[in-house]
Structure 1
């Protein structure tokens, strides 16, 4: 079995300059669009089309409109002075109109449109001073060449220096290089969906007959999108198989420590929490390494689930580590877990960058000896001198703050340690599969008992004085509040109130010792001190930027004011609102907006007022902003798909994942006819990583 690129694909990976009409200069221009070989042209699909069906007369359309019509060429009217247009009178079956050209040479136009001859012209007809005219027709052909104009002409994305003509010619040349390949899609799926084969799908997608053929629901487009998603999911599934092949450590729960903690909890875990704990406990008892994502909305009780998992590691005689992206969060995890650890009689310690000298040395010695059973820390736990006696489980909090590489480094700290990743950012299912498709997923979709709904209200910034007055009353009653601002310092170019400025104004209104300030540009020690004062109740109002979006837990805080809320993303607003509603008091979130609100700003704020369901909010956010914006390509590791549209074709991702996993289950070496075709697909989609995994296998 060859592990190199299949011969049939060579022409698609050759140089662009081998295609008709593409020289080195044009190839460079194509490169600016990310098109570097014929294969890239195949997956650059038209985004719209122009109806160029033949009409009897321009009277058949309402200008302005594109029309294709046969005419008899009449008189030529060269320009009377420089800068004036050249006009040619033409007559169709019912009326006369003008063809208009700017900066055109007379000898060229008399050859192209000789008086008395018949021509097919196609272009946009407009009325100018009551006279119909077609400025610079897109096509001028003799009647016997009419079939060169497609009845529905595809329109491609372009960059400066490219024309639709060059693009169409290049695509046609690339299509000629395709060959029929074996089918990599499950026959049952093909039949059920009514999809054409790969080659036919490409030809149809590049030659739409109507606007319906350009839709993401058109069978040819859906098939090509599915190819892309299947290749991506095959890669993730191969990575998953490869990871499972590496031996993990069997960590069997005895249940003794877990029972002590569950008995000490003031409430009964939700069904979702129990399900997640069961899934993780089962995974840890298997010989393969666990690689699981725990996804839960704000306040769904992920920390308790994670601690139960850490207890499995301890019950089995090993150690666990929980890592948070910031020191504030790490300390908070420590404070939240300490009482539970005491109930279970488990030794829990914190390790951050602040630990120095003899104190740090003592912690490292205890960790290496196995005396510390659960370690909570920041990325400081990555350092070379941090050695565990027997690390069984690594829990990573807020995965989107850590790269995949860091996730693997952490897993490497323990020979075969299980990995549990937690995120409080609800991700639409299609994106979760694109980003975490190599992982098993547990979802917490219920709120623990006692979490009160947060009342959300929209208030214009003109009423800010009323908000400050009601805040003064609330502070007088012993309540605490967050006040979130979009910027740290006033910027002349953007009229958004800064945290510094709002801090000064609120201190003047409420009192110096009542208001604290925290933002990302402060030194870490100052930031921690301000947070600690607020957590301890020494300050009642905390003015902050979005640094508090993740994690901070102050049950007494029951008011969240978000200034210029229209400038925040939907998921971010939801995360911020989740900071309140954690205690016994009724909680409120005030969204202060500056009128007039734009259409998308209003829609975001209205969705937030209607629902507290983070998964529904995430789906809305995806629909409004698109996948790239939602996670941010650079740090997300989210693949860039050329054809697939995750906003509109999310269901295909689910199908691709189950199909890919089933294919590898039935044919692990990809040696059957369908398996060999799947290898071709991986080469075609440039999934080199996956190809290496099969080669090794």
Structure 2
């Protein structure tokens, strides 16, 4: 019944229903679950308890004639004196001239607004005549738009609650209600809309947050279970002895974090199910060597491996790194990009199809129709968020359900990782290799530019190289920020004895490759660039990075950029040129100078910006929750995930009637009839 159209609620016709659709409200259930985003506290306070600029409700008696003044076009201001307890204060009403005749001496009023401690005045935005008219000390505030007002929405929710409130069914099993001391669903919905106090609203919210997370995680874990059981992947029975020998031959020891993730991945590869795992690690944490070990293991089981990366520069770097590790043990690997053409390309593809070639590293060139594998067993995608779902799927389909490993150098807090990638297993390298020097980071104002450039020159004189990052390509009327073309011209003039290169997103890929190659070969000493160098460029001789207008970047992006230096033995530096106007901007600069830990930074970034901005709205893939908040409710998210994992894997969940509403939910979501996520 609650799934029926909202038009079944008394007082809601077709027109109102259309307006409600704009708020995402289609069914009776949607209306009942359209929760307030905050509550107004109407409990009258004593003047002595109120803080400056606090939003408050006070009760008192009008003591003076009100004074009305008009100014500008249709703007007005009323001032009157109100006695609250034994304190005489001023009440100010903007653009509410119609109240002039009602504000008479001796009348009792309940006023809500912003308190000014210095002037002993309140700027009123709500005025009620009489004392104690409020039904509740807590009033819900809803997000509305169009023709829907808060008052109108409350009326519609009241009607829905009166008509259908008794049809709200409990969907959580009694065990979980008792275990977490949660109130019943019907009670929670009622208290969210009509709380008597803060505690009421808190208990109700706690209950609905857990429910929302549990349903989301149940869906994720069920998809994962059925996807896994139906994937029919190949068991990669790798040669453990040879893998151990390969690890012993490495010119360095693995960190304990690297060893842990290698064990997790190899264990997954050996199962008959298709691996679907995310490997995340900070810049420089050693993901490439983990990839090499896993690719080697696949080859010992007579499978082929593929590594797909977003750019030719990155593909080339990975190719040289992997070749150095794998060639000595007899593993053949080749590079395939759009630049490789003609006879060389044809020969390479023939070797790949025949199985003579063990490992292929490349860009999206790997997903062309002409690329055929003999026996593809492991697909690794680096910086996977830069490829579309279809591109990833095309490569995966070139093998018989090969194991899939996604790698990212964008550290994502565990809370978010288990939410967004809930249908994946997540491996995390949270430790840096020994001996890597932390990058020293400084925040400088723009007026200190001369000193910063002098510091850059000292590094150049030692034979080092520098990056200079700008937010824009060309001058913009809209944004007063340094742009790459102007900065390039200025630096060419300043550093006359050095070669200054320019790179930005509008250059053709071959032009970008050429500039980057010149920088790699030290033919260019200073590279002025936009954020196109953010991912995967490895120039060990570059020891200094200057970021103009650093306050325009998020913490995670600043950290990614900073990770382009510090790749050699010499001490490296990052200078943030910024004059942030906002507290958030200042906080960002401060955090960057305090820590080099990407996971800590991403958590702080999330707290400062929220999950949508953290990922960028287009590619976030973040679930939309009605009441839960992934950042502030992360403990509930962890608990819900553990509960969902346990439920989905138990036979009782699928058979016991206690869980029927949860199973019905999964059926409605299409999870039980083959719904899949990439």
Q: Is TM > 0.5 for Structure 1 vs Structure 2?
A: yes
Contact 1:257 1:311 in 2 (8 A): no
Deviations 1:150-192 (A, max 9, x none): 33222222224322221211222333424243443572x4334
Structure 1 segment 288-303 matched on structure 2, within 5 A:
288-303=273-288
1:464–1:219 Cα change, 3 Å:
same
8 Å CA contact 2:315, 2:362 repeated in 1: yes
* Structure 2 equivalent of residue 540 of structure 1: 525
Where do 1:515-530 residues align within 5 Å?
Answer: 515-530=500-515
Query: Against the structure 1 CA distance between its residues 309 and 122, is the aligned structure 2 distance closer, same or farther, given a 3 Å change threshold?
Result: same
Q: TM-score, normalised by structure 1?
A: 0.85
Structure 1 unaligned segments of length 5 or more: list them. 1-9
Q: Which secondary structure state, in structure 2, belongs to the residue aligned with residue 14 of structure 1? A: coil
The residue correspondences of 1:319-398 to structure 2 (distance < 5 A) are 319-398=304-383
Identify the residue that residue 605 of structure 1 maps to in structure 2. 589
Instruction: Give, in whole Å, the separation in 2 of the partners of 1:443 and 1:317.
Output: 28
Q: Which runs of 5+ in 2 are unaligned?
A: none
1:34 is aligned to 2:8: no
> Deviation at 1:679?
2.7
Establish whether residue 254 from structure 1 lines up as the match of residue 239 from structure 2. Answer: yes
Q: Which runs of 4+ in 1 moved over 6 A?
A: 57-64, 75-79, 82-101, 103-106, 118-121, 125-128, 130-137
Task: Report what 2:57 is aligned to.
Answer: 66
Q: 1:579 to 1:359 in 2, by over 3 A?
A: same
**CA distance 1:186–1:553, shift in 2 (3 Å):** farther
Pairwise mapping of residues 402-551 of structure 1 onto structure 2 (< 5 A)?
402-511=387-496, 514-551=499-536
Alpha-carbon contact 1:227-1:681 (below 8 Å) kept: no
1:506/1:15 CA distance change after superposition, 3 Å: same
317-326 or 380-389, which moves further after superposition? 380-389
Partner of 2:290: 305
Report if aligned partners of 1:85, 1:103 keep a CA contact under 8 Å in 2: yes
Structure 1 residues 464-511: Cα deviation after superposition (integer angstroms, max 9, x where no partner): 122222222321211111111111112122111111111122222223
1:21 alignment counterpart: 11
Q: CA deviation at 1:538?
A: 1.7
Between the aligned partners of 2:642 and 2:115, the Cα distance in structure 1 is 56
Count of aligned pairs: 664
Q: Distance in 1 between matches of 2:543 and 2:79?
A: 73
SS of equivalent to 1:269: coil
The answer to whether the Cα contact below 8 Å between 1:294 and 1:421 also exists between their aligned partners in 2 is yes
Equivalent residue number for residue 147 of structure 2: 161
Counterpart-to-counterpart distance in 2, 1:466 and 1:605? 19
What are the residue-to-residue correspondences of 1:216-255 with 2, within 5 Å?
A: 218-245=202-229, 246-255=231-240
When structure 1 is superposed on structure 2, of 615-624 and 499-508 the one drifting more is: 499-508
1:88 Cα deviation after fit: 13
Of 555, 569, 577, the match for 1:584: 569
Which residue number corresponds to residue 197 of structure 1?
A: 184
Single out whichever of 358-367 and 517-526 deviates more from structure 2: 358-367
Q: Secondary structure at the match of 2:577?
A: strand
Contact 1:392–1:414 under 8 Å retained in 2: yes
Question: Are 1:559 and 1:580, in contact at CA under 8 Å, matched by a contact in 2?
Answer: yes
Does 2:172 match 1:184?
A: yes
Flag the 1:256–1:475 CA change in 2: closer, same or farther, 3 A. farther
- Out of 620, 635, 640, the residue aligned to residue 624 of structure 2 is 640
* 1:500–1:86 Cα change, 3 Å: closer
From the superposition, tell whether residues 151 and 119 of structure 1 become closer, same or farther in structure 2 (CA, over 3 Å): farther
**Which string of whole-angstrom CA distances, capped at 9 and with x for unpartnered residues, describes residues 431-459 of structure 1?**
11111111111110111122111111111
Instruction: Check 1:173–1:332 CA distance in 2 against 1; reply closer, same or farther (3 A cut).
Output: farther
Deviation of 1:624 after TM superposition, in Å, equals 0.5
SS of residue matched to 1:465: helix
Equivalent position of 2:669 in the other structure: 688
Counterparts of 1:276 and 1:59, CA distance in 2 = 58
Match of 1:6 in 2: none
Q: C-alpha displacement at 1:201, in angstroms?
A: 1.2
In structure 1, C-alpha distance between the alignment counterparts of 2:636 and 2:80, rounded to whole Å: 53
Aligned to 2:598: 614
In 2, are the aligned partners of 1:518 and 1:544 still within 8 Å (CA)? yes
Local SS of the residue matching 1:554: coil
- RMSD over equivalenced CA pairs, Å: 3.9
Aligned-residue offset at 1:58: 11
TM-score (structure 2 length as normaliser): 0.88
